[in-house]
A and B are shown apart, each in its own frame.
Chain A
Amino acid sequence: MIIVNDVYKRYHTHHGPGRWVLNGVNLTFPTNVNVGLVGRNGSGKSTLLRLVGGIDQPNKGTIQRLSRVSWPMGFGGGLQSSLTGRQNAKFVCRIHGHETDIADRIKYIQSFAELGDSFDEPVNTYSSGMRSRLQFALSLAFDFDVYISDEVTAAGDVAFKNKAASALKKIADHASIIMVSHGEGTLKQFCSAGIWLHNGKAHWFDDINDALKAYKGSIPK
Chain B
Amino acid sequence: MTNNYSTDLASSPFNTTFRVWKALFLREAVTRITASRAAWIWLFIEPAVHIGLMMFIFTVVRVRVISGIETGIWLLIGMLAIFTYKRTATQTTNAISSNRSLFAYRQVKPVDTVLTRGYLEGYLMLLVSLLTYSTTFLLGFGMIPYDPLVLVASFAGLWLTGLGFGLIASVLTDLIPELGKIISMLNSPIYLISGVVFPIASIPDPYRSWLMINPLVHGIESARSAISPYYHPLSGLDLGYLFECAFGFVFLGLALHKRFAVTLAMK
Chain A residues within CB distance 8 Å of chain B: 53-57, 62-69, 71-72, 75, 77-83, 87, 90-92, 94-97, 99, 142-144
* B15 near A87: Cβ-Cβ < 8 Å: no
Chain B residues within CB distance 8 Å of chain A: 1-9, 11, 15-16, 19-20, 22-24, 26-27, 30-31, 35, 99, 101-108, 262, 265-266
* A62 near B106: Cβ-Cβ < 8 Å: no
Choose among A56, A57, A78, A144 the residue that contacts B102 (Cβ–Cβ < 8 A): A78
How far is it, in angstroms, between the C-alpha of A82 and the C-alpha of B35 when the chains are bound?
8
Nearest opposing residue in chain A for B103, CB measure: A55
Shortest Cβ gap from B7 to chain A (Å) = 5
Nearest opposing residue in chain A for B25, CB measure: A94
* A97 near B8: Cβ-Cβ < 8 Å: yes
Contacts of A143 in B (CB 8 A): 7
> With A65-B3, A71-B105 as given contacts, are A87 and B9 in contact (CB-CB < 8 Å)?
no
A-side binding surface: helix, strand, loop or mixed?
Answer: loop
* A80 near B5: Cβ-Cβ < 8 Å: no
Shortest Cβ gap from B95 to chain A (Å) = 13
* B22 near A94: Cβ-Cβ < 8 Å: yes
Choose among B11, B16, B20, B106 the residue that contacts A55 (Cβ–Cβ < 8 A): B106
* B108 near A95: Cβ-Cβ < 8 Å: yes
* A80 near B101: Cβ-Cβ < 8 Å: yes
Contacts of B99 in A (CB 8 A): 80
How far is it, in angstroms, between the C-alpha of A56 and the C-alpha of B105 when the chains are bound?
10
Shortest Cβ gap from B10 to chain A (Å) = 9
How far is it, in angstroms, between the C-alpha of A33 and the C-alpha of B107 when the chains are bound?
26
How far is it, in angstroms, between the C-alpha of A23 and the C-alpha of B57 when the chains are bound?
67
* A91 near B19: Cβ-Cβ < 8 Å: no
Choose among B2, B31, B35, B107 the residue that contacts A95 (Cβ–Cβ < 8 A): B107
* B2 near A83: Cβ-Cβ < 8 Å: no
* B27 near A87: Cβ-Cβ < 8 Å: yes
How far is it, in angstroms, between the C-alpha of A49 and the C-alpha of B19 when the chains are bound?
25
* A62 near B101: Cβ-Cβ < 8 Å: no
* B7 near A57: Cβ-Cβ < 8 Å: no
* B19 near A55: Cβ-Cβ < 8 Å: no
Given A68-B7, A94-B23, 9 extra CB contacts under 8 A: A55-B265, A56-B265, A69-B5, A80-B99, A90-B23, A95-B16, A95-B20, A95-B107, A99-B22
How far is it, in angstroms, between the C-alpha of A201 and the C-alpha of B15 when the chains are bound?
38
Nearest opposing residue in chain B for A2, CB measure: B3
How far is it, in angstroms, between the C-alpha of A144 and the C-alpha of B22 when the chains are bound?
22
Contacts of B23 in A (CB 8 A): 90-91, 94-95
How far is it, in angstroms, between the C-alpha of A54 and the C-alpha of B4 when the chains are bound?
8
How far is it, in angstroms, between the C-alpha of A79 and the C-alpha of B2 when the chains are bound?
25
How far is it, in angstroms, between the C-alpha of A92 and the C-alpha of B24 when the chains are bound?
10
